[in-house]
Amino acid sequence: MTGEADRGARFDPSTSSGTGGERTATGGTGSGTVGSSVGTGSVRSGPGTGRVEVVDAGGRAVIPGFVDSHTHLVFGGDRADEFEARMSGTPYAAGGIRRTVAATREASDDALRRRLAGFVDELQAQGTTTFEIKTGYGLTVHDEARLARLAAEVTPEVTFLGAHVVPAEYADARHDYVDLVCGHMLEACAPHSRWIDVFCERGAFTADESRRVLAAGIAHGLLPRVHGNQLGPGEGVQVAVALGAASVDHCTYLDGADVAALAGSDTVATLLPGVEFSTRQPYPDARRLLDAGVTVALASDCNPGSSFTSSMPLMIALAVREMHMTPAEAVWAATAGGAKALRRDDVGVIAPGNRADLVLLDAPTRVHLAYRPGVPPHRRRVEGRDPPLSRGRRRDQRGVRGPRRRVDGAGPSVACRATRTPGRRRSRHPSRPRPS
């Protein structure tokens, strides 16, 4: 399904190398098509490969683990009543983000940690193996720092989002709040974060404020990403491209200049169809972006207000049904596309030398992810240890290393350890928080 993950490469379903199309994988006597049905057969370990354990895929599809590059998983409270009112057309006083901020500030670390553990279990059960988490529901120095710290317990992809909205206590002093975000709040969160984000949107932060926040984060060694062009036309895309952001997320309202800017850059357009599904808003025009040569990713935007789902298979189904992506494009966007949005080349692809990060579907082809929406597709995960990391990249701490494992027909064997074997106790997953 995927080849190498060179930054800036585009999806091309006609190729058998690069980042697009189905890639035929061979090795030993097993062979198959990655992302389609994978054949079975015996596997022999070659010189220097060490012990190899064969996993019989049984004709099922093997794909890279999903990469969810946009989530808000650390929060308190619930907004089901807002959702019900919105869906029924009943007028209501929406508390929105500020309502979640209040509930999050009141929640203890232990309560937030337990809830986060449940979300991690939930997304992993649906085939997500790499995920990002944003702060943004604390909006004080203390609370943003603790959200970043809790998120860092389960993922290295932590994003500081102090510039989510201006909190109520700064309603008449927004300049002071931007100063706080760029100063003490950033200093408290940067040690736990890899990314900095800003909601560059009407009612949130202006383009000038967004540039200031992102520049401050870059000066502290964080990498930029942007929420932009969700609620209407705006400058979010242009801000993101000008600052070399890894991704600009939402991209619902774009003009020709926005599309051209994305097509000429390495900035990924991350589409979040769960938001449109949950709010009955127009979906982004994915077809226009893809046809222009823009790199597109899919993510869940799991949050309590506008997209309370962690299901990447649902994002794929929505992308195919509502945004006119092909199944191949949608699966690529949910795996390799997400990896590009996180500037990762070690996940989202099946390639020689990469750590095994595979999902065995309970289906014969990847098409079933969209063809059978709502049916749990994930049968098993096959996970490996990390290859040596390049200098300067953060190492995600892993558990005990085990034997080399191979999914038949999925290419050269890779070092890995089993995550679950029937009848045996499941080992602790490295991204699950330790009991408090």
pLDDT of amino acid 94: 64
Residue scoring higher pLDDT (376 or 222): 222
pLDDT at 283 over 70: yes
Is residue 57 within 8 A of residue 49, CB to CB? The reply is: no
The whole-number average pLDDT for the span 317-340 is 98
Mean pLDDT of 339-368: 91
Q: What is the mean pLDDT of residues 100-122?
A: 98
- The dihedral over CA atoms of 151, 249, 69, 281, expressed in degrees to the nearest 10, equals 90
Listed residue (334, 299, 318) closest to 373, CA to CA? 318
pLDDT at residue 54, rounded to an integer: 75
Axis crossing angle, helix 109-125 with helix 141-152, rounded to the nearest 10: 40
Count how many Cα atoms sit within 13 Å of the Cα of residue 345 in the half-sphere of its side chain: 16
Asked whether the predicted pLDDT for residue 324 surpasses 50, the reply is: yes
What pLDDT is attached to residue 50? 57
In this predicted structure, which of 27-36, 69-78, 99-108, 133-142 has the lowest mean pLDDT? 27-36
Helix (H) or strand (E) holding 197: strand 195-200
Over range 54-60, report the average pLDDT: 83
d(CA 352, CA 317): 29
What span, in angstroms and rounded, lies between the C-alpha atoms of 286 and 251? 9
- Domain 66-341: assigned CATH number: 3.20.20.140
Task: Kindly tell me if the per-residue pLDDT of 118 is higher than 90.
Answer: yes
Higher per-residue pLDDT: 195 or 5? 195
Give the pLDDT mean for 94-109: 93
Q: b/e string for 121-154 if b means 16 or more Cβ within 10 A?
A: eebbebbbbbbbbbbbbbbbbebbbbbbbbbbbb
Please name the residues in contact with 218: beta carbons below 8 A apart, sequence gap of 6 or more.
196, 224, 243
Lowest mean pLDDT among 34-38, 165-169, 221-225, 342-346: 34-38
Cα distances (angstroms) measured from residue 53 to each of 30, 63, 179: 13, 18, 55
Per-residue pLDDT band for 366 (boundaries 50, 70, 90) equals: very high
Kindly indicate the confidence band of residue 351, based on its pLDDT and cuts at 50, 70 and 90: confident
pLDDT score for 270: 99
Read out DSSP for 35-74? TSBB--------TT---EEEE--TT-BEEEPEEE--B---
Spell out a b/e string for 274-292, using b for 16 or more CB atoms within 10 Å of the CB, else e: bbbbbeeeebbbbeebbeb
* Counts of helices then strands in the chain (DSSP H, E): 15, 18
What does pTM read for this prediction? 0.81
Worst-scoring range by mean pLDDT, 63-77, 137-151, 372-386? 372-386
- CA–CA separation, 396 vs 394, rounded Å? 6
Q: Which residues contact 89 (CB under 8 A, 6 or more apart)?
A: none
Asked whether the predicted pLDDT for residue 390 surpasses 80, the reply is no
Query: Is residue 424 very low, low, confident or very high in pLDDT (cuts 50, 70, 90)?
Result: very low
pLDDT digits (tens, 9 = 90+) for 157-215: 999 999 999 999 999 999 999 999 999 999 999 999 999 999 999 999 999 999 999 99
Structural domain boundaries in the chain: 26-64+348-418, 66-341
Q: Decide: 243 and 211 in contact? Cβ < 8 Å.
A: yes
Average pLDDT, the chain: 81
DSSP states of 331-370: HHHHTHHHHHHTT-SSSSS--TTSPPEEEEESSSSTTHHH
Q: Is the pLDDT of residue 46 over 80?
A: no
Tell me the percentage of the chain whose pLDDT exceeds 90: 68
Most confident of 17-21, 39-43, 161-165: 161-165
Q: Which of 96-100, 151-155, 296-300, 327-331 has the lowest mean pLDDT?
A: 96-100
112 to 106, 108, 126, 262, 435: CA distances (angstroms): 10, 6, 22, 36, 12
Q: Which residue has the higher pLDDT, 65 or 37?
A: 65
243 pLDDT higher than 50:
yes
With cut-offs at 50, 70 and 90, classify the pLDDT of residue 93.
low
pLDDT grade, residue 154 (50/70/90)?
very high
Residue 18 has pLDDT above 60, yes or no: no
Predicted pLDDT at 182: 99
More confident residue, 407 or 110: 110
Q: What is the pLDDT of residue 397?
A: 34
Residue 403 has pLDDT above 60, yes or no: no
Where are the alpha helices (H) located in 107-185, listed in sequence order?
109-125, 141-152, 174-180
pLDDT more than 70, % of the chain:
75
- Give residue 421's pLDDT band: very low, low, confident or very high (50, 70, 90): very low
Residue 386 has pLDDT above 60, yes or no: no
DSSP H or E stretch at residue 380: strand 378-384
